[in-house]
Structure 1
Amino acid sequence: MARVKICPRCGRHNPPSSSICLSDECSWDLTGIRAENLREESPVPAPETGASPDSGGQKPEPAVSRNSGPEVSPAPEPRPAPGSSLAPEIPPGKIYVRICPGCGTENRAVAKVCTACRQDIRMVPKTQADRKTGTGTADSPRPAVPENTLIAVLKSPDGTELLRIDSDHPVHVIGREHTLMEYLAGRDYTSRRHAELVVSGKRLVIRDFGKPNGTFINNVRMAAESAETLKDGDRVSLGGIWEEDWKSSLAGCFTVSYPGRS
């Protein structure tokens, strides 16, 4: 007998260790689903076709015995197709979801990547959503992917453009081995993976990764592993205060600009 986790949404048989449905079009949360023993139907012996010489050419009646062999297990009932009236229902009410900041798709709260655009959404906060139907499908059609919109521009202290952040690329890890790595080369106070910038609506949120040298906004140090929304014109320095002689500083510095907004 094989042990499987049967997805209540699409009916797929998944390995017992799976935490989500392996179907690319489903990705349903299986953390609360118990693995089941899947019985294989025992073969039914084929009937004898020969007739004995003394039977006059007639097929002899098989002898009936209570102990004639192992009991044949009944075939498992077929699982209903997804979306049919017999499909297992999910109770209506509030559910937690992760809404992809890139394409707006609602994902399960345990999802690590968006099922539509495959973007990493592990850092996206969970929100509540209404589920008015119990069919296991979304209440509304998947929203269309929004057009690419420029959100912010990062600039060096002398006004040179360093990075344009748009709605198609809403998450950037900043550090000497990540985004801005060329600009931050030689800035030894900046860590290889120092902070993260995430688009939130029409603004940028910066999250400090708790490195020893810290992250500063307008020369005020952020609390370790905290997050703050950046305003237009904010001066960010990674690893130390903003120095006037920024070219020789060992801290990486940039300003935030929101085009068309103040």
Structure 2
Amino acid sequence: MATYKLCDICNHKSDVTYLVCENCVGDLTIATYVTENEALETTDKREDTTGGLAAQKSPDSKQPASRPTSTFQHFKIVNQDENIEIQLPIAETIIGREGDVETSYFETCNYISRRHLSIKYKDEHYVISDLNSHNGSYLNNRRLNPEEEYPLTEGDTIKIADKSFNFQKSL
């Protein structure tokens, strides 16, 4: 029997290792665990140590009641020359003229592809990959190989066309 995390927002079943729902990007750190044979199971709501509500399975459940805490930190990319900050969601973000964020900013940039690069949260850290863009993407002045993932660390410089961004923690 496979075990999944059930999203409280959209009821999508996600892998138990995921911190966010792959369907709606909902927080899975407090999600209910279900097995493949189970329908939606009933849960008891209890107050957790952080003051929020956490889902706990009934005592006869085979899963432990405790949940691992998320080590997720919010990040942003910042173009200090133009005073632009782009908050990065937990799920994958496509940057480009027809991307997911700040399209009005990127659509005026002729050298940026429609879908230029991807930044996503994977295995408890962010990764960047060039999406076969025409003019390429750079990480710390090194050109990225298309479709290859590179880990991002705080302070990294991302360059696309004539735009440079710093990868920074959000407050």
Fold conserved (TM > 0.5)? Answer: yes
Distance between the aligned counterparts of 2:116 and 2:65, measured in 1?
Answer: 35
1-structure distance, mates of 2:24, 2:120: 13
Letter in 2 for 1:155: V
CA 1:183–1:142 in structure 2 vs 1: closer, same or farther (change >3 Å)?
A: farther
Q: Give the aligned residue type for 2:20.
A: G
Hey, what's the Cα distance between the residues in 2 that align with 1:191 and 1:142?
Answer: 47
How many angstroms does 1:26 deviate by? 8.6
Please identify which structure carries the higher strand content: 2
Q: How far, CA to CA, are the matches of 1:143 and 1:187 in structure 2?
A: 48
Is 1:176–1:190's contact at 8 Å kept on the other side of the alignment? Answer: yes
Read off the aligned partner of 1:119 and give its amino acid letter.
Answer: C
Judge conservation of contact 1:233–1:255 (CA < 8 Å) in 2: yes
Secondary structure of residue in 2 paired with 1:206: strand
Q: Compute the RMSD of aligned alpha carbons.
A: 3.9
Distance in 1, matches of 2:170 and 2:157, equals 16
TM-score normalised by L of structure 1: 0.40
Alpha carbons 1:175, 1:190 under 8 Å: kept: yes
CA distance in 1, matches of 2:114, 2:65: 37
Q: Which residue of 2 aligns with 1:205?
A: 127
Figure out how many residues of one structure are paired with residues of the other and give that number.
131
Among residues 9, 19, 30, which one is paired with 1:101 in the alignment?
A: 19
Aligned residue for 2:53? none
Map of 1:185-224 to 2, 5 A cutoff? 185-200=107-122, 203-224=125-146
1:162 and 2:97 aligned: no
Question: TM-score scaled by structure 2?
Answer: 0.58
Task: Pick one of 81, 84, 92 that aligns with 1:171.
Answer: 92
Cα drift, residue 151 of structure 1? 1.7
Partners of 1:206 and 1:194 lie apart in 2 by 11
Corresponding residue of 1:254: 165
Q: Which of the numbers 143, 148, 151 marks the counterpart of 2:74?
A: 151
Task: Provide closer, same or farther for how the CA distance between residues 140 and 217 of structure 1 changes in structure 2, counting only shifts above 3 A.
Answer: same
Measure the CA separation in 1 of the matches of 2:83 and 2:167.
Answer: 12
Contact 2:75/2:170, CA 8 A, preserved across alignment: yes
Task: Give the greater-gyration-radius structure (CA).
Answer: 1
Tell me the equivalent position of 2:55. none
Residue 161 (structure 1) shift: 4.5
Quickly say closer, same or farther: Cα 1:174–1:145, change in 2 above 3 A: farther
CA contact (8 A) 2:87 2:170 kept: no
Q: Could you list the structure 1 runs, at least 4 aligned residues long, displaced by more than 6 angstroms after superposition.
A: 24-27, 141-147
- Does the CA-based 8 Å contact 1:199-1:205 persist in structure 2? yes
Identity %: 20
Match of 1:182 in 2: 104
